[in-house]
Structure 1
Amino acid sequence: MKTPLLSRTPVAAALAAVVATLGLTACGVGGETTQASADACPFEADESVDTTVRIGYQKIPNGDVVVKDQRILENCLPNATIEWSNFASGGDVVQAFGGGSLDIGLAGSSPSTKALSAPLDLPVSVIWVHDVIGSAESLAVRGGEATDIAGLKGKTIATPFGSTAHYSLLQAIADAGEDASDYKLVNSEPEQIAPTWSRGDIDAAWIWDPTLSELKKDGGKVILTSEDTAKAGKPTFDLAIADDSFIEDNPEVLAVWAKAQDYAVKQIKSDPEKAAESVAVEVGVTAAEAQKQFEGFVFLDASQQVGADYLGGKLGQDLFTTAEFLLTQDGIAEVAPESDYADGVDPGPAEAAAGE
């Protein structure tokens, strides 16, 4: 577990230069800058903060998009400038951190593990568990195409490489005693998968909502889920990572940010209809669909997150286990010492939100 405000070795300047050439603004679509008033803050606002906070989000039905749609940060940090940028996947979010263009961002446990491992070894820390992924990420196949992972050998399966869905797919193949080289795995971003499915270019996809729901409407049948791989001992998460320097310089921002996330999680649990309305706006589904999609995740409030099963201890072990598996799949160059992954988890913001 990382001691709050502990900094990591800065990423090599060469990496930042390389990432900068990738055109990161193309990954973060429509960076939105908004300001607001403290009047609508659901807890005590902090008017002393006047910095800019750059946040990378994904269109995933969890508390992060509730915070965005309801302008909780804008209302609780009324003198700050909040910039939201949308990313297609956690891999893109990690690239943006490598280029120094984000302060806080949502990335799955697999890309977050990569960020903490060589060759990246980015100066970031995990500060929040947006959700524990269950059936919200699943392997959809064409009806009658296959009933298990072995039945897809030789078939084309799409998934965003480096994502939690990719990790779960590789883990399912390994758990079945099969070899990933016997499958035609295709790297495809979520928005590309539905069109390629419709054209008949792919036979299956391990992906999340809203794309997953589109595939099911178009004849897809779910045969495996990330809940299954979690039960097999390989859980996946949507996590928030933050730049270590930003954490050190802006503890008051992170405290408000975590309180906003905690408020959103509690709203999902106590008033899912209201939370679903926000998700519908941000994700592009109906409110009814959004509420249904909540069932594919486990949401944790701040008091749960600081416990031993998550930010308080075991999450670091889960990241280390993920790194060991990624190494076998050539996803990373080497596994860092287990203590590095424990140190890459900073419970400070969640502890502030939990009042600890």
Structure 2
Amino acid sequence: MNFKKILANVAIVAMTAALFAGCASSKNSAGNGKNNGASSNLPKVVNIGTQQMSNDEKIAIAKDFFEKELGVKVKIIEFQAGDIRNALVSKDIDFALLGSASAAQGIASGIDIETIWIHEVLGNAEQLVAKKDSNINSIKDLKGKKVATPYTTTTHYSLLKALELNGMSEKDIKLFDMQMPDIYAAWQRGDIDAAYVWEPTLSNLLKDGRSIISSKDMAEKGVITSNVEVVRREFADKYPDLVTKYIKAVNKAVKLYNENQADAIKTLSDSLEITPEEALKQTKGSIWLTAEQQLDPAYFGTSDKKGNLVKSLKDTADFLYKQKNLKKEPQLDTFEKAVNPSFIEKAIK
């Protein structure tokens, strides 16, 4: 009997050891999810900061392309232009849609981000509009007038460059820093004479205003602006596959716009609660690029030889520095590091 008891005890010990070994193996496998593709390595939620614009990201949001591609819960948070950079700094969001001027300032001021996508190259989608009864027919007519635009945005940059090209500066006008809803309210009250704005505020102002200059006009003068996507470098280093999947989602939206414009426009119309005609007009005011086009030397270039986007962002930062919107003089290598075509390259492989 004693011998049988001993055998039984040995069997129990062996089974217990095997059970613990199995649990330990499973635990180690889960803990090494980064190497074996286990879902435990993924974040519970990815936070995407956006703005109200008729672009590829808005289509991707409305069509649920992000959750389908990323395979995790995605939270979309809408911001006004000035607040979205603060959310990056506080790590409340992982991705952010910024104007190129805002991105340039953020990079130059030390926000640790990478530029990964161009949503659109801006043209008639951003314009300087003046009241019809304001006697403003040119940039020089702005002297002494009340003009509004959101600071450190593409419209702010374009306005300051337009003044510079006409031998003027912001000291020659009464410049107000306002977000789009506030600009429209001030316009209706008659508190401002002109504003450099984007859609949908632009269309509202043009109902009783006239266009003085557009970002398309400025591009022809060498002042190119765009809306870009940035990602926190910490997030990109930890979850590079998710960044690549973000690119796949927005590229899918661009392809939808190119191949089935009616569907894309209806999606924007429903999402933004505007007419299809308004949605089409807004999208026609800018240039949308596929992932393959973004790797052209005029834009991102490649990882081996980066393109003109580096110089464009650096030139923007240089101008902001001269305007005393930046404390430190921008360095080229900062922008070389911050423009990353690799995620686009991986997305199209």
| TM-score interval for Structure 1 and Structure 2 normalised by the shorter chain | 0.7 to 0.9
Match for 2:339 among 345, 348, 351?
345
**2:203 paired with 1:213:** yes
- Which of 303, 320, 330 in structure 1 is aligned with 2:324? 330
Contact persistence 2:144–2:172 (CA under 8 A): yes
Q: Identify unmatched segments of 5+ residues in structure 1.
A: 1-45
> What is the aligned partner in structure 2 of residue 113 from structure 1?
104
In structure 1, what residue type is equivalent to 2:235?
A: F
| Percent identical | 32
Deviation at 1:168, TM superposition (A): 0.4
Q: Distance in 1 between matches of 2:206 and 2:191?
A: 16
Structure 1 residues 321 and 221, CA gap change in structure 2 (3 angstroms)? same
Instruction: Tell me how far apart the structure 2 counterparts of residues 333 and 230 of structure 1 sit (CA, whole Å).
Output: 27
Alignment of 1:127-166 (within 5 A): 127-145=116-134, 146-166=136-156
Q: Secondary structure at the match of 1:331?
A: coil
Deviation at 1:61, TM superposition (A): 0.7
1:243-262 alignment, distance < 5 Å: 243-262=232-251
Counterpart for residue 314 of structure 1: 308
Which string of whole-angstrom CA distances, capped at 9 and with x for unpartnered residues, describes residues 146-182 of structure 1? 1101111111111011111000000000011112101
Which residue does 2:27 correspond to in 1? Answer: none
Gaps of 5+ in 2: 1-36, 302-306
Structure 2 partner of 1:82? 74
Q: 1:130 to 1:47 in 2, by over 3 A?
A: farther
SS at match of 2:91: coil
Equivalent residue, structure 2, for 1:182: 172
In structure 1, what is the Cα distance between the partners aligned to 2:116 and 2:230?
6
1:195 counterpart = 2:185: yes
2 CA distance for matches of 1:222 and 1:269? 28
8 Å contact from structure 2 (residues 318, 330) kept in 1: no
Tell me if 1:223 matches 2:217.
no
Q: Is the 8 A contact 1:316 1:343 kept in 2?
A: no
- TM-score normalised by structure 1 residue count: 0.83
Counterpart in 2 of 1:354?
Answer: 348
The alpha-carbon deviation at position 252 of structure 1 amounts to: 1.3
Q: CA deviation at 1:136?
A: 0.3
State the SS of the aligned residue for 2:83. helix
The one-letter amino acid of 2:152's match is G
Deviation at 1:325, TM superposition (A): 0.6
**1:353 to partner: Cα distance:** 2.0
User: Is 1:68 aligned to residue 61 of structure 2?
Assistant: yes
Q: Tell me if the contact between 2:70 and 2:246 (Cα under 8 Å) persists in the aligned partners.
A: no
Name the aligned partner's letter for residue 75 of structure 2: E
Q: Aligned-pair distance for 1:133?
A: 0.6
* Cα shift at 1:50: 4.2
Kindly indicate whether the alpha-carbon contact (under 8 Å) linking 1:59 and 1:282 is maintained by their aligned counterparts in 2: no
Match of 1:237 among 211, 226, 231: 226
**Following the alignment from structure 1 to structure 2, what is the Cα–Cα distance between the partners of residues 282 and 330?**
38
**Paired residue for 1:104, among 74, 95, 101?**
95
CA positional deviation for 1:98? 1.1
Q: Is the 8 A contact 1:66 1:275 kept in 2?
A: yes
Greater shift, 275-284 or 136-145, is seen at: 275-284
Distance 1:134 1:172 in 2: 14
Using the TM superposition, give the Cα deviation of residue 105 of structure 1 relative to its aligned residue in structure 2, in angstroms.
0.6
Highest CA radius of gyration, 1 or 2? 2
1:47 & 1:174 partners in 2: Cα distance? Answer: 55
1:67 partner letter: A
Instruction: Give the SS at the match of 1:60.
Output: coil
**8 Å contact kept, 2:139–2:162:** yes
Q: Secondary structure at the match of 1:75?
A: helix
- How many corresponding residue pairs? 305
Q: Verify: 1:56 aligned to 2:45, yes or no.
A: no
1:295 aligns with 2:284: yes
Kept in 2, the 8 Å contact 1:47–1:77? The answer is no
Could you tell me which amino acid in structure 1 is paired with residue 334 of structure 2? D
Distance 1:319 1:222 in 2: 26
